[in-house]
Each structure stands twice: as C-alpha cells, then as structure tokens.
C-alpha cells in the first residue's frame, strides 16, 4: 500500500515538472504584427500595402483559426533597428503578438529577430534580403520567405558575366543588406573570371548620387551594379542616366521591385535584366490575386514583398490549424512539414533552416514600345528552380 502511494506521488511530481504540450490558441486569438518602413525609401515595396496583403491572407483563410479570431497590428520601424526591436518587444510582451511579418531592412530584421527568437515567436521575413537569417544568424523561428542576396546574385550576375561583362563597380547601400549583396555578387564575379574595380557605399535614403556615379565613371567598369533597393535604386539609376554613366557601362539592378521599375521611365530602365521572386502577370493565378490586391490598394502594383507577405501569412495560418496551437515551436514544425502552394510559392519547400526554396524568375524589363499598359513591365526569360537559385543549407542551421 505504502509502495503504491509512493509510486503515485512520484508520478504526479514528475508530471508537475514536465512541460505541458501546448494546445489551443493563447489569449483566445491569433495576432500577427506587420513591421516595416511605411513611408521612407522602402515604403512602396512593402509598407502599408504589406499590411493589406496580410489582411487579404487572413480573409482568404476565413478570418478565424481553430474557432478563434485572427487580427493584425502594424507599425512603422522607419528602418531603425532600435525602433524595430522596441516595437517587437512591446508587441510580444504587452499585446500578445504571435508572429511578425513584413520585415524589410535587414538591419531592423536582425534586431527584431533577437527579440522574437528569445520569445520563441516566428518571424515571417517578406522584404529583407540578407542571407544571414539562414546562416550566421539562423534560428528555428526564422522563416525567410521571398528572396535573398544569393538568389539575386545567382540570377542576375552570372548571365552578365557570360555576356562578357568582366569589370564591375558597385554602388552599395551602406548597411547589412547592401554589404551582403555586394559580398555574394563579388564572389560570383571573381569565380567566373571577372574583377571588381571599385565600390562606393551610399547611406540609406540618399537622394543625390552624383559623387557615387562619378566614382563609377572614373573606374572604367563595363558593368555597374546597384546593390540597393526601393527609392535608393530609383534615385541611383536616375543619377547614372543624368551623368551619362548608362552610355558608358551596363547598369545592373541587383534588387529591383516592381514598384521601382514602374517609377522609372521605360526609356531609362527598358531592357535591364533582373531577378525577382514574383511577377503579377505570370499566369492566371497571379493575375487574379494581383487584380484583387490592386483594387484594394488604389491600383498599386504588387511587389514580390507584398506577395511574400500574403503567402507567408497564409502558410503560417495553415500551420496553426494543423498544429492545433499557436505555440511557436509547434507552428514552425508544421510550417516545415507541409508544403506551401499559392500564387507566389511555386514548387516550394520551407527548409529546416527556415529558407523558403521556390522558383525565381529572370526577367527583362520591357521597352516603352513593348508595353501594353502601365503595369506591363517584364518579360520572363527564364524560370530558375529554387534548388539552383538559393544557397545550400549549412549544418549549423539544420533545425530538424
């Protein structure tokens, strides 16, 4: 009798110290935060319309999951890491945010990831490009969705080298994303017989690119790579045109969003080759979704960041449903176990390291006389399978 009572007591004590397996929805709702630059250099490529894309995904999912409501909060990080991390901490600790989407400037994402990773909350990276989030700063809670610097450089730089462009100069955004993009592109250039003859670092939000363009002109480069994005890309390409650099060298946009392309005259950007993770006019599915998006956003053309925000949100909610909980570890396990399949995620798998491997597209910007309307921007020249586009997973980031 005493032995039986003792055994029962020990069993109860063991259960008391064992972590309970999470089930159900915490706080009776799933809350998704969208953090991005809402009005600065990256405002058009994600911004408030990433919030709209996330709302579209929630509506298409049905508005509830496991019988509980889904809602959205959003904030402007102004591309400042301290603001981004502070808002992430406030959301997680005080507003019960379960996952964070948007996430454009890589420097901000790095700061936010530290907060979210410690709290075991998934981050759905829809706009940032640095590959550190699946390499040196990898985490079981990072889902890097849309693209990265490796896929951009592989898709754009190698064909230019094959076409005979061997001397390169970089005009680079002076922070983590730009540095990573220049580094990866330089590796491809040098391993394929090319040389980098110089580079210039421009602060985020630069409007006058004259000094950087003049450095490129004096370098003797036959290819000038713009390792920037958003309004920085637009301003740097316009500056290159005004000073005549475009007549001296081939301009190479390493990260170009559809909103950037539309903001530049076709006479300036026409015939440029670039790599993207999404194009609205690819097929019937992408056109149907994009039409709905444009109706909701006053005609704004969807970028790959908008499409990635929608796709990652939809997949996250499916994973919550499959896991039966919004607990971070369980949800991330399901996100990696089930395959996403939507108008963005083609032939896609979320790897153990958090990298979404999916088709990328090598495109040519149409010239003015080739365009049927203002949104008729690209001709898809090649579909790049994800296995070819993205880097290999490193052992340290194999979160099985």
CATH number of the domain bearing residue 54: 3.40.50.2300
H-helix segments, the chain: 2-17, 47-61, 81-94, 106-118, 149-162, 176-191, 210-219, 230-242, 245-248, 258-263, 266-269, 284-296, 304-323, 328-337, 386-389
Report the domain count for the chain: 2
Owning domain of residue 221? 150-280+361-388
Residues 286 and 344 in one domain: yes
**pLDDT tens-digit series, residues 215-248:** 999 999 999 999 999 999 999 999 999 999 999 9
Residues 257 and 367 in one domain: yes
Cβ(117)–Cβ(49) under 8 Å? no
User: Is there a domain that residue 224 lies in?
Assistant: yes
Residues 142 and 37 in one domain: yes
Residues 249 and 219 in one domain: yes
**pLDDT tens-digit series, residues 259-305:** 999 999 999 999 999 999 999 999 999 999 999 999 999 999 999 99
In this predicted structure, what is the pLDDT of residue 19? 37
Share of the chain above pLDDT 70, in %: 94
Residues 274 and 370 in one domain: yes
Q: Whole-angstrom Cα distance, residue 123 to residue 148?
A: 15
Residues 162 and 105 in one domain: no
Residues 176 and 262 in one domain: yes
Question: Is 173's pLDDT higher than 70?
Answer: yes
Residues 253 and 269 in one domain: yes
Least confidently predicted of 6-10, 134-138, 233-237, 311-315:
6-10
In this predicted structure, what is the pLDDT of residue 16? 40
The stretch 307-327 carries a mean pLDDT of 98
Residues 165 and 250 in one domain: yes
Question: Is 398's pLDDT higher than 50?
Answer: yes
In this predicted structure, what is the pLDDT of residue 332? 98
Chain-centroid distance of CA 205 in Å reads 19
Question: Is 117's pLDDT higher than 50?
Answer: yes
User: Is there a domain that residue 15 lies in?
Assistant: no
User: Is there a domain that residue 10 lies in?
Assistant: no
pTM over 0.85: yes
Output the six-digit token pair for 84: 């981004």
The stretch 329-343 carries a mean pLDDT of 97
- Binning pLDDT at 50, 70 and 90, where does residue 18 land? very low
Output the six-digit token pair for 91: 């959301």
Q: For the chain, what is the radius of gyration of the CA atoms? A: 23
**pLDDT tens-digit series, residues 60-114:** 999 999 999 999 999 999 999 999 999 999 999 999 999 999 999 999 999 999 9
User: Is there a domain that residue 297 lies in?
Assistant: yes
User: Is there a domain that residue 343 lies in?
Assistant: yes
Nearest partner of 324 among 17, 25, 8, judged by Cα:
25
In this predicted structure, what is the pLDDT of residue 28? 96
User: Is there a domain that residue 109 lies in?
Assistant: yes
Residues 376 and 258 in one domain: yes
In this predicted structure, what is the pLDDT of residue 400? 81
Nearest partner of 253 among 221, 210, 216, 223, judged by Cα:
223
Residues 112 and 245 in one domain: no
> Taking the alpha carbons of 92, 96, 100, 104 in that order, is the dihedral positive or negative?
negative
In this predicted structure, what is the pLDDT of residue 39? 95
Nearest partner of 345 among 359, 325, 331, 364, judged by Cα:
359
Q: Whole-angstrom Cα distance, residue 66 to residue 228?
A: 41
What mean pLDDT is reported for the chain?
Answer: 94
Collect all residues with Cβ–Cβ distance below 8 Å to 61 and sequence separation of at least 6. Answer: 70, 314, 317, 318
Cβ(125)–Cβ(143) under 8 Å? yes
User: Is there a domain that residue 215 lies in?
Assistant: yes
Residues 222 and 367 in one domain: yes
User: Is there a domain that residue 139 lies in?
Assistant: yes
**pLDDT tens-digit series, residues 40-69:** 999 999 999 999 999 999 999 999 999 999
Produce one character per residue of 373-397: b if its CB has 16 or more CB atoms within 10 Å, e if not: eebebbeeeeebebeebbbebeeeb
């Amino acid at each position: 009798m005493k032995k039986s009572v003792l055994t029962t007591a020990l069993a109860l004590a063991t259960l008391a110290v064992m972590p309970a397996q999470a089930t159900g929805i915490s706080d009776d709702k799933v809350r998704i935060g969208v953090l991005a630059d809402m009005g600065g250099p990256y405002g058009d490529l994600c911004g408030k319309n990433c919030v709209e894309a996330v709302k579209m995904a929630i509506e298409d999912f049905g508005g509830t999951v496991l019988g509980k409501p889904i809602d959205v909060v959003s904030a402007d990080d102004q591309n400042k890491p301290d603001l981004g991390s502070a808002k992430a901490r406030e959301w997680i600790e005080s507003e019960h945010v379960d996952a964070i989407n948007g996430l454009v400037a890589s420097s901000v994402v790095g700061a936010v990831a530290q907060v979210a990773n410690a709290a075991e909350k998934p981050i759905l990276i829809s706009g940032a490009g640095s590959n550190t989030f699946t390499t040196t700063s990898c985490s079981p809670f990072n889902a890097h969705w849309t693209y990265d610097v490796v896929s951009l450089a592989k898709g754009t730089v190698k064909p230019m080298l094959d076409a005979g462009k061997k001397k390169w100069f970089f005009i680079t955004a002076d922070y983590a994303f730009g540095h990573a993009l220049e580094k990866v592109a330089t590796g491809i250039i040098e391993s394929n017989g090319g040389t980098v003859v110089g580079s210039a670092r421009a602060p985020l939000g630069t409007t006058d690119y004259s000094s950087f363009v003049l450095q490129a002109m004096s370098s003797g480069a036959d290819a000038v790579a713009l390792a920037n994005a958003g309004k920085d890309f637009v301003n740097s390409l316009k500056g290159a045109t005004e000073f005549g650099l475009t007549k001296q060298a081939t301009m190479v946009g390493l990260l170009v969003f559809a909103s950037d392309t539309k903001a530049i005259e076709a006479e300036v950007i026409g015939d440029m080759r670039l790599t993207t993770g999404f194009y609205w006019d690819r097929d019937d599915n992408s056109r149907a979704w994009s039409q709905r998006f444009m109706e909701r956003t006053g005609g704004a053309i969807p970028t790959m960041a908008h499409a990635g925000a929608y796709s990652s949100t939809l997949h996250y909610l499916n994973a919550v449903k499959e896991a039966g909980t919004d607990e971070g570890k369980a949800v991330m396990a399901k996100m990696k176990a089930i395959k996403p399949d939507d108008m963005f995620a083609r032939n896609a798998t979320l790897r153990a390291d958090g990298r979404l491997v999916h088709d990328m597209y090598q495109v040519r910007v149409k010239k003015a006389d080739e365009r049927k309307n203002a949104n008729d921007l690209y001709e898809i020249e090649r579909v790049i399978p994800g296995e070819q586009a993205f880097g290999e997973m490193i052992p340290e980031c194999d979160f099985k």
